[in-house]
């Protein structure tokens, strides 16, 4: 995959949207692109995670406690908390058909943060905004 295409996709991810082009390029270099076959279980609920996934092509189904809770398509992502800790996955994600994923491992991501601490500050700000939004939605429902 061309580096520009990786940057383009990463820039659309909320948690990376505040990064400048140089910072995004570092994150892109820390990533890999993988293809998965239909019906592949990408992550399993309860397993300890250490990767972030961005769906570049295809669709995937998210299940929690066996129930379908979401359908993911191009540009959707999951596993962002795994970049910050190695806690258990909150859901299972299965490829509906052949999928292409951009994958960032925790170790590689921490390397980017160690090189450019400003990335961590921007990510924390982005994550705080997402938590505020989730809290607002929880209160309004």
pLDDT at 62 over 90: yes
Instruction: Enumerate helices (H) and strands (E) in the chain, giving the number of each.
Output: 4, 8
pLDDT number for residue 140: 75
Please check the confidence at residue 21 and state whether its pLDDT lies above 80. Answer: yes
* CA atoms of 10 and 103, how far apart (whole Å): 11
Residue 87 has pLDDT above 90, yes or no: no
Domain boundaries, the chain: 3-140
The answer to whether residue 101 scores a pLDDT higher than 80 is: yes
Which two structure tokens, joined as six digits, stand for 91?
A: 């859901």
Under CATH, which number does the domain 3-140 receive?
2.60.120.10
């Amino acid at each position: 995959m061309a580096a520009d295409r990786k940057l383009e996709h990463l820039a659309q991810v909320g948690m990376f949207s505040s990064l400048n082009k140089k910072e995004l390029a570092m994150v892109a270099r820390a990533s890999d692109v993988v293809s998965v076959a239909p019906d592949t279980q990408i992550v399993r609920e309860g397993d300890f995670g250490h990767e972030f996934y961005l769906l570049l092509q295809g669709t995937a189904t998210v299940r929690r406690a066996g129930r379908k809770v979401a359908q993911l398509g191009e540009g959707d992502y999951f596993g962002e908390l795994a970049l910050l800790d190695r806690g258990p996955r909150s859901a299972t994600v299965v490829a509906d058909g052949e999928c292409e994923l951009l994958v960032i491992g925790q170790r590689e991501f921490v390397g980017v943060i160690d090189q450019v601490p400003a990335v961590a500050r921007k990510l924390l700000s982005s994550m705080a905004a997402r938590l505020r939004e989730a809290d607002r939605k929880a209160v309004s429902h």
